[in-house]
Chain A
Amino acid sequence: MYPRSFHYHRAKSLQEAAAMLAQLGDQAKLLAGGQSLIPLMKLRFANPAHLVDLNFIAGTSYIHSEAGVGEGGYSETGVSEGGVLRFGALTRHAEIENSALAATVPILHDCAAGIADVQIRNRGTIGGSLAEADPSGDWACVLSTLSTEVRCLGASSPERVIPLSEFILDAYTSALQPDELVSEVMVKIPVKGSGGAYLAFKRSAPVYPTASAAVQLTMEGDRCTDVAIALGCVGLTAIKAKDAEAALRGQTLNDKALAAAGEAASAAAEPQDDMRGSADYKRALVGALVKRAIAIAARRAHGEQVEVSHIYA
């Protein structure tokens, strides 16, 4: 299958790529990992007249850590208070999967190692995943449980840093301006005593999950002092399950609290019937995933090493 013909442009820098977007207008698309865009182009659901290839730009794929205390930099949203992990926009999922640095925040490893299959993880990028804003994308769900900011570079506007909660606006819709691109993703390292887990339920490796749950929580003894819960693939964007969070915050993590959080998560989901399952099925599924993810996150918060892999039908 061949996509429609297009003009190919190879950007030498992110600045040049942004300038190309400004010059070529809305018929242009950026090519990062291409693992969503190329299939869409082959099916002719996407027919850009111009592709701007980012893959030949040096220095866009990296994972850095930064001790944030007193260093300023991202102070508007408070990211500078703790350490920060910085991901270049074209950092491949596989690089994050194999990074010891990223594994210091276990939920990041859960996410990177579970996306599709080896071949797709070797190509797909964290920046591309966020910019595409696919409702079933894994990164947006996971990163919304952490303090995450997206650095955006424009041709005509000053660089800006947007909290992830304000970056993804709707299904396939981000806050990027037409001449803007993602240059970096910044994730605040959770405080000591915090643990997280991401679980997705999939029919097979290469496909998007039927539903997924991300949980990041902080424990003091067996009491949960803070928690963030996000649900994936059950709405137009990842859904923050606020009632489920409230059901846990300040509570001892017993069966009753877990059941309440699971029920609240199911109620917060807005799934649709599709080939992956009925809405009712996905609602039940996501509640169960949340309960399992809470239990794993709590064990990790206590310092236990728990290996997680996605669940297959």
Chain B
Amino acid sequence: MPETAMPETIEKISVTLKVNGKEYQRLVEPRMLLVEFLREELDLTGTHVGCDTTYCGACTVLMNGASVKSCTTFAVQADGAELLTVEGLAHNGELHPIQKAFGDAYGLQCGYCTPGLLISTYQLLEHNTSPNEKDIRKAIAGNTCRCTGYQNIFKAIQLAADNRKGA
């Protein structure tokens, strides 16, 4: 079925937001998705587009402390928000302890899903310092790994939690 005529002129919307502690302001089309905004407007290409259908979670970012699929959020909705993307995890050239744990436990193969999994893990450990097996499985249920490396991802999250407690 043909789509109806394009609306005349679409007013662009100003978006001001903080990403990884840095403030940005851009004028965007309302239909621009948050993931495209991060990748194309801000050059933060660590956040990946996987399925682009709200399934795989490769595009997961933290928005005001809550993980969201940035392929299923418009950039205009993040106006005034504070975001954390995978680029914001490392500090002064040092990997974040969650990133280290993924390396130490071989919690990645091709690495495509990893940015989303790191953010989902970050969200889990913010709310739950001693996650059990069920908590971990539930926390990453929205993140798909096509290499099917779930066992090591699971171990990496466990290790990150253990390290955090030991620290």
Contacts and interface: CB of A to CB of B under 8 A. Distances in A.
Contacts of B32: 2
Given A38-B72, A119-B67, A119-B69, A8 B139 contact: no
A83 B142 CA distance: 35
A119 B7 contact: no
A117 interface: yes
Contacts of B60: 119
Contact of B30 (A6, A119, A205): A6
B147 interface: no
Interface string B129-142: 00000100011011
A118 B76 contact: no
A47 B55 CA distance: 21
Contacts of A161: none
Contacts of A47: 3-4
A118 B6 contact: no
B142 A5 contact: no
A192 interface: no
A120 B67 CA distance: 9
B142 A205 contact: yes
Nearest to A116: B142
Interface string B27-56: 001111100100000000000000011110
A94 B55 CA distance: 18
A21 B68 CA distance: 27
A54 to B, nearest CB: 11
Given A7-B7, A118-B123, A39 B53 contact: yes
Contacts, number: 104
A4 B120 contact: no
A8 B54 contact: no
Nearest to B80: A56
Contact of B77 (A7, A53, A120): A53
B11 interface: yes
B73 A122 contact: no
Contacts of B55: 206-207
Interface in A100-124: 116-120, 122-123
Contacts of B71: 42
A5 B11 CA distance: 10
B59 to A, nearest CB: 9
6 contacts: A4-B3, A34-B73, A34-B77, A41-B31, A120-B69, A123-B69
Given A44-B3, A123-B66, 11 more contacts: A2-B36, A8-B13, A8-B30, A10-B76, A38-B74, A49-B7, A53-B77, A55-B77, A117-B142, A205-B142, A206-B55
Interface of B: 3-4, 6-7, 10-11, 13, 29-33, 36, 52-55, 57, 60, 66-69, 71-74, 76-77, 79, 120, 123, 134, 138-139, 141-143
The 4 A-B residue pairs with the shortest CB-CB distance in the complex, in nearest-first order = A117-B142, A8-B30, A205-B141, A122-B66
Interface of A: 1-8, 10, 31, 34-35, 38-39, 41-44, 47, 49, 51, 53, 55-56, 94, 116-120, 122-123, 204-207, 309
